Amino acid sequence: MSGPLLDVRHLSTHYVSARGTRVTRAVDDVSLVLDVGGTLGIVGESGSGKTTLALSLLRLLPTAARIVGGEIRFEGEDLLQKSDGEIRRIRGKRIAMILQDPMMSLNPLFTVGDQVAEPIRVHEGASRRSAWSRATELLKAVRIAAPETRVREYPHQLSGGMRQRIVGAIAISCEPRILIADEPTTSLDLTIQAQYLNLLRDLQRSHNLALIFITHNLGIVAKMCDQVAVMYAGRLVESGPVKQIYNTPAHPYTQALLESIPRLGDSRKRLTAIDGQPPDPSAPPPGCAFHPRCPKVMDRCRSDAPPEFRVADAQTSRCWLSDPTTR
């Protein structure tokens, strides 16, 4: 295969009310690229469209959601042109996802072993005995102590950190090419969070995974990712290499997010805050969606939505300040 592993082009996903009178643009004209073995961080405030973007990649959207445009090219093939049966064979085997809350992913009525073994039996046709044996190996791979015992236990018998590792074991059970991790450390304390991030990185290296890491924590992105895409109101407002964007952010929203991170030795008494609230995605403001909160707003921002500008070799920004004709 030549080219990127995943190439998303102008993807738009809308939520439509039951009567069709209210349209929410949860994902609006998003394009991104993920290479084999690469790590992409997707960041933004709650409600910016990060999870809807991830669910769109897997076509796991709720009934009210519709992918209304764009392409999702995985290994050169457009997933939006696949039948339901074809996408089910890809989902969980070649593209897997760790959801934000492990208790929403795990069935309380089935043992851990049954749930880890299920994708192996479904996608690879393994026998129950063989799949259970593989499940025990996977629990060991995600560093769960006494895996032979844990496979026979139920989710409620495990700690939050263990449950998060279990869903990680399910996600890598069929050795996918891409692993999407949606806020996987939100419910973990800092010590367990650090251990889990190290585990994900080790799994990525050992299985040659491409990783999409969805989070609101820019510190985690700096630790885990090669590339970062910043979302606001359903759109990517800035994207590029992590080091480049952290050193020279071009979009005022990215700048504000970075300035809100606490740092050791910082003499400021108060952290920088972004005034106001994100817009209602069903009734976005005209022009740039960030302009009501932007400290650098210009008259043009209030009426015209900025296109994507290239500010460096691999860095893009949707901001009129990045327009080369006005610099």
Q: Which structure tokens are listed for 129?
A: 């005995």
Q: How far apart are CA 79 and CA 307, in angstroms?
A: 26
The residue with tokens 């990060």 is 50
Q: How far apart are CA 291 and CA 83, in angstroms?
A: 41
More confident residue, 230 or 200: 230
Q: What phi and psi, each to the nearest 5 degrees, are found at residue 228?
A: -135, 140
| Res 123 pLDDT > 60 | yes
- Split into its structural domains, the chain has a count of 1
Q: How far apart are CA 67 and CA 285, in angstroms?
A: 22
Q: How confident is the model at residue 2 (pLDDT cuts 50, 70, 90)?
A: low
Q: What is the mean pLDDT of residues 165-169?
A: 89
Q: How far apart are CA 225 and CA 39, in angstroms?
A: 5
Q: Residue 150 falls within a domain, yes or no?
A: no
Q: What is the pLDDT of residues 210-250, one digit of tens each?
A: 999 998 888 889 988 999 999 999 999 999 999 999 999 99
Q: How far apart are CA 240 and CA 318, in angstroms?
A: 12
Q: How far apart are CA 310 and CA 239, in angstroms?
A: 10
Q: Residue 62 falls within a domain, yes or no?
A: yes
Rg (CA), the chain: 21
| Residues paired with 305 in a beta bridge | none
Q: What is the mean pLDDT of residues 18-40?
A: 90
Q: Residue 249 falls within a domain, yes or no?
A: yes
Q: How far apart are CA 51 and CA 218, in angstroms?
A: 16
Residue 41 sits in a domain whose CATH number is: 3.40.50.300
Q: Residue 141 falls within a domain, yes or no?
A: no
Q: How far apart are CA 63 and CA 12, in angstroms?
A: 16
Q: Strand, helix or coil at 12?
A: strand
Q: What is the pLDDT of residues 40-94, one digit of tens each?
A: 999 998 889 999 999 999 999 999 999 999 999 999 999 999 999 999 999 989 9
Q: Residue 73 falls within a domain, yes or no?
A: yes
Q: How far apart are CA 176 and CA 210, in angstroms?
A: 9
Cβ distance 5 to 34 under 8 Å? yes
Q: What is the mean pLDDT of residues 309-326?
A: 90
Cβ distance 315 to 245 under 8 Å? yes
| Res 264 pLDDT > 80 | no
Of 1, 6, 101, 107, nearest to 53 by C-alpha is: 6
The count of residues in the chain is 327
Q: Strand, helix or coil at 169?
A: helix
Of 105, 5, 8, 101, nearest to 56 by C-alpha is: 8
Q: Residue 223 falls within a domain, yes or no?
A: yes
- pLDDT of 15 reads 93
Q: Residue 34 falls within a domain, yes or no?
A: yes
Residue 96, burial from CB neighbour count under 10 angstroms (0-12, 13-18, 19+): buried
Q: Residue 191 falls within a domain, yes or no?
A: no
- pLDDT of 96 reads 92
Strands laid side by side in the 227-232 sheet: 95-98, 178-182, 210-215, 39-43, 227-232, 235-241, 315-317, 309-312
Name the residue range of residue 316's domain: 6-94+178-186+216-262+270-322
Q: How far apart are CA 195 and CA 143, in angstroms?
A: 10
Which DSSP string do the residues of 238-259 spell out, in sequence order? EEEEHHHHHHS--SHHHHHHHH
Give the number of other Cβ atoms within 10 Å of residue 270's Cβ: 5
